[in-house]
């Protein structure tokens, strides 16, 4: 039994802290701080398509902590990010049938209990989709946030 518990703990510690939603693509990272030991601190950009709303793509840039603890997925990333969402084609969803607010992206940013989450909010009156990125943590979240809006407009000749 203790071997099983030790194996489970080792698997948990070996899991990287940066587990993105399945539909997010890591595009590139830029180093921000040189570290003698372990990976550098960096800002990484991920892109994803809103699976419920065809024709919308979002990009989120997040700070990632390096060093020895970051290399092994044990560091807690700062709650700093930026967000940009664009209409990349005809929007295929009916805004009146979407949930008023829905989580569309989540990324683990520490080994325990902290995530960056992205919510889609529908502003039906203005025919706009609003995306809000936040950081949450079980004990205390963060006031840092980012917002992007996508006005739903006709695409091409459609």
**Residue ranges making up the domain that contains 38:** 2-151
What is the C-alpha to C-alpha distance for residues 115 and 134, in angstroms, rounded to an integer?
A: 8
> Is residue 158 domain-resident?
no
Looking at residue 151, its pLDDT comes to: 92
Please check whether residue 99 lies inside any domain of the structure.
yes
Q: Which pLDDT value is given to residue 13? A: 35
In a domain, 82, yes or no: yes
What are the pLDDT digits (tens) for 25-47? Answer: 888 888 877 777 877 778 889 89
State the pLDDT confidence band at 156, using cuts at 50, 70 and 90.
confident
Tens-digit pLDDT profile for residues 75-122? 655 667 889 999 999 988 888 999 999 998 777 655 556 677 889 999
User: For residue 84, what are the CA distances in angstroms to 22, 66, 71, 88?
Assistant: 19, 24, 28, 12
Task: Give the number of other CB atoms < 10 A from CB of residue 86.
Answer: 11
pLDDT > 50? residue 10: no
Q: 24 lies in a domain?
A: yes
Rounded distance between C-alpha atoms, residue 67 and residue 130, angstroms? 35
Neighbours of 50 (CB within 10 A): 23
Task: Give the mean pLDDT of 41-58.
Answer: 89
User: Which residues have C-beta within 8 Å of that of residue 51, sequence separation ≥ 6?
Assistant: 23, 104
Please report whether residue 157 resides in a domain: no
When divided into structural domains, the chain yields a total of 1
More confident position, 144 or 111: 144
Look at residues 22, 23, 28, 77 and name the one whose alpha carbon lies nearest to residue 54: 23
* Cβ within 8 Å of residue 45, ≥6 positions away: 26, 27, 28, 29, 59, 60, 61
């Amino acid at each position: 039994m203790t071997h099983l518990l030790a194996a489970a703990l080792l698997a948990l510690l070996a899991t990287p802290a940066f587990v993105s939603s399945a539909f997010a693509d890591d595009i590139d990272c830029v180093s921000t701080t040189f570290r003698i030991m372990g990976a550098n601190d960096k800002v990484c950009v991920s892109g994803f398509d809103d699976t419920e709303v065809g024709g919308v793509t979002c990009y989120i840039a997040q700070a990632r902590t390096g060093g020895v603890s970051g290399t092994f997925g044990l560091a807690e990333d700062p709650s700093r990010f930026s967000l940009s969402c664009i209409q990349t084609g005809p929007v295929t969803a009916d805004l009146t049938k979407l949930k008023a607010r829905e989580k569309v992206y989540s990324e683990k940013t520490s080994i325990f209990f902290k995530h960056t989450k992205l919510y889609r909010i529908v502003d039906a009156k203005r025919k706009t989709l609003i995306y809000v990125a936040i950081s949450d943590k079980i004990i205390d979240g963060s006031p840092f946030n980012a917002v992007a809006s996508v006005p739903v407009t006709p695409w091409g000749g459609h």
